[in-house]
């Protein structure tokens, strides 16, 4: 029997299976639910101890830019060949952790090494939804 094909009499019979109805037509054992009013509550930040995760290694990448070239150009690559990227000198670069965009940074040269200074993190209102495409 499909629920869509039930008659009113069949539905009423199913409702009244639990016992006789009182004079107003309601079952006697059914009571109206009463709920206390909802009160807003302030949720505090979790103070869970995550120190056990401090030694988990993640892969960090800085994407200086990207470009598309065809296979002929790849095969013709030689030492000292310059490949133009889609970023300009001074542009912010993308910082990714485990291949997921996390922040923007500025490339720095420190003596013989390169580094990155974090300028903003994902979620900052200055850079909403930005990242490497």
Work out the percent of the chain whose per-residue pLDDT is above 70: 76
**Pairwise CA distance, residues 64 & 94, whole Å:** 7
In this predicted model, what pLDDT tens digit does every residue of 46-75 receive, in sequence order?
Answer: 677 888 888 999 999 988 888 999 999 999
Question: Which residues, other chains included, contact 22 with Cβ-Cβ below 8 Å and sequence gap of 6+?
Answer: 28
**Tokens read off for 90:** 């001074």
The torsion angles phi and psi of 52, rounded to 5 degrees, stand at -65, -15
pTM of this prediction exceeds 0.75: no
In this predicted model, what pLDDT tens digit does every residue of 90-130 receive, in sequence order?
Answer: 788 889 999 998 898 888 888 888 888 898 887 766 655 55
pLDDT of residue 132: 46
Contact 78, 98 (CB under 8 A): no
Pick the closest to residue 114 from 85, 96, 93 (CA basis).
93
pLDDT of residue 133: 44
């Amino acid at each position: 029997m499909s629920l869509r094909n039930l008659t009113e009499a069949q539905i009423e019979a199913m409702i009244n299976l639990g016992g006789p109805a009182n004079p107003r037509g309601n079952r006697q054992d059914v009571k109206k639910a009463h709920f206390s009013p909802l009160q807003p509550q302030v949720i505090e930040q979790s103070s869970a101890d995550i120190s056990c995760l401090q030694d988990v290694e993640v892969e960090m990448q800085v994407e200086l830019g990207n470009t598309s070239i065809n296979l002929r150009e790849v095969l013709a690559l030689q030492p000292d060949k310059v490949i133009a990227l889609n970023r300009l000198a001074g542009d912010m670069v993308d910082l990714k952790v485990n291949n997921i965009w996390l922040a923007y940074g500025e490339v720095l040269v420190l003596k013989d090494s390169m580094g990155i200074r974090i300028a903003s993190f994902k979620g900052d209102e200055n850079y909403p939804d930005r990242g490497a495409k």
